[in-house]
Structure 1
Amino acid sequence: MTYKNLIVNSENYITTIIINRPKKLNALNQETIKELHEAFKAADKDKATKVIVVTGSGEKAFVAGADISEFADFTVEEGTHLAANGQNILFDFVENLATPVIAAVNGFALGGGLELAMACHFRVASDNAKMGLPEVSLGVIPGYGGTQRLTQLVGKGRAMEMIMTAGMIDANKALGYGLVNHVVPQDELLELCNTIAAKIIKNSSVAISGAIRAVNANFKEGENGYQTEITEFGNCFGTEDFQEGTTAFLEKRKAAFPGR
């Protein structure tokens, strides 16, 4: 598929999705959100993709926010639909993908950009990254899951401060908060993401998908994460990956997981 605002590359079981609106600092407009949905959906269905990395083009920004010009004149109803639709087709969609998603945060990740990074399964940042949710400075609040995921990742007090002050934190503070897993020089960012992805690829994609569902269940209202874990654990016993993994262990060789 051809995209207007994305560059998508696949190699060595890794699909890299690059948000490519450099003149807008890769800001998320509705067209880009729809394209991201399609790109993530296609990568998730691709048997040759075992890890997805998402990043922004250029050196200045991962995603510097949403495209404010699109919704500056919205009504209450239109604003509500904007948030609900965005969460449904992109942010919740990414969080619940069966394929692991790594956010390579280069430069600014603000507003919708930080919300996209937080929807990914984990984050790696360049040392020049700046992160924040500045929405209250515009008279609005984060609407793409930011109030929920930031609190889950950094705790209530820190999330409240970041949201209320509308300020940015640098990469090292984000690392200290647990918002990102690693900080590296910008020219090493994708290299580290690919190194981590290579480690993931060696393992059972079926088991990883089950682990994603089990971890996410802890944060879903009305769902018992422990019970989800029990169910997903049991399901593993019916997979070819389990048979291969246990057989390889007993035979003292590396497993060659079929992904089934």
Structure 2
Amino acid sequence: MASLDKDLAPVLDKDGVRLTVDEALATVTLTNPAKRNAQSPALWRALAEVGRTLPGSVRVVVLRAEGKSFSAGLDRQMFTPEGIEGEPTFVDLARRDDAELDATIAAYQEAFTWWRRSDIVSIAAVQGHAIGAGFQLALACDLRVVADDVQFAMLETSLGIVPDLTGTHPLVSLVGYGRALEICVTGRFVQAEEAVQTGLANLAVPADQLDDAARDLASAVLAPPRDAVIETKALVRGAQERTYDDQRAAERSAQSRRLRDLAGIGE
């Protein structure tokens, strides 16, 4: 099966991340299968750069990974005393003052924040292990298609740290507080059947059909007019934070904009 970015010239290809663009569809591929697409600050900087690099024509972004694992989490070298060359070690980070440490973590989080912006729909195609930072990267996307061999786990707590790469908010939104807390503090694995049953994944398919399933979902998202998708995404994203009456009002405002736009009448 051909990958989503086959034969396309990369817009960006660095530090284990490749971006290709085919008109309205962008594909972001993690490209270090030898290390199970382990994550590092360099990879996070590359992912943040992808978000800044996306052409305005892009409506859907598919996130995928080469190899048997989507991402096995943090590069284990980050846990060693010497760390990764050119990057601060955990001890270095701990010695920074509050403002500097906060700014460093915020910079790391930038790799995980842009996937939910209003003008795109992001789809994670996840196979094999999606551990820790890998789980949180999949959670950063709007939608998730998983292979039947997927294994999600949040192992940060078992290492004495917390999930800090933006994963806790979407996890609670998807599966509820009790299950999210249990997943995070026990570090247990969540497999494909449970992921679909709990809403963590939209659908599960055999591993050799994962790219095709992601492509089909991307095509379905691209079918409606872009502005209608943008307005609908904003309505759905904000529904949990709004009261029922506020959501009704938001629907009315969005529909008024759509009707006037379709009629060619400016506000």
- The TM-score with structure 2 as length reference comes to 0.80
Q: 1:196 aligns with which of 199, 217, 221?
A: 217
Shift of 1:218: 3.2
Other structure's SS at 2:208 match:
helix
1:144 equivalenced with 2:165 (yes/no): yes
- Match for residue 36 of structure 2 among 25, 32, 35: 25
Aligned residue number for residue 86 of structure 2: none
Report the equivalent of 1:231.
Answer: 253
Q: Is the 8 A contact 1:150 1:159 kept in 2?
A: yes
State the shift of 1:126 in Å: 0.5
In 2 relative to 1, CA 226–137 (structure 1 residues): closer, same or farther, beyond 3 Å? farther
Q: Mind listing any 5+ residue stretches in structure 2 that lack a counterpart? A: 1-10, 84-88
Q: Which runs of 5+ in 1 are unaligned?
A: 245-260
Amino acid at match of 1:38: E
Give deviations 1:157-205, integer Å, cap 9, x for gaps.
Answer: 1111101101111111111111001111111001011111112211111
Runs of 4+ in 1 over 4 A off after TM superposition: 219-222, 224-227
Query: 1:2 aligned to 2:24?
Result: no
8 Å Cα contact 2:70/2:130 also seen in 1: yes
Q: Pick from 64, 67, 72: which aligns with 1:64?
A: 72
Q: Deviations over 1:120-172 (max 9, x none)?
A: 11100001110011101110110012222111100111111101101111111
Q: Counterpart of 1:213?
A: 234
Q: Is the 8 A contact 1:96 1:212 kept in 2?
A: no
Equivalent runs, 1:46-65 vs 2, <5 Å:
46-47=56-57, 49-59=58-68, 61-65=69-73
Please point out which of 29, 36, 53 is paired with 1:42.
53
Corresponding pairs, count: 237
Identity level (%): 27
Cα distance in 2 for partners of 1:82, 1:23 equals 28
How far did residue 225 of structure 1 move? 4.7
SS at match of 2:164: coil
- 8 Å CA contact retained: 1:65, 1:110: yes
**C-alpha distance in 2, partners of 1:12/1:126?**
26
Q: Separation in 1 of the partners of 2:233 and 2:33? A: 32
Per the alignment, do residues 34 and 235 of structure 1 end up closer, same or farther by CA in structure 2, a change over 3 Å counting?
A: farther
Q: How is 1:17-166 mapped onto 2 (pairs within 5 angstroms)?
A: 17-43=28-54, 45-47=55-57, 49-59=58-68, 61-67=69-75, 69=78, 71-73=89-91, 74-75=93-94, 77=98, 79-87=101-109, 89-166=110-187
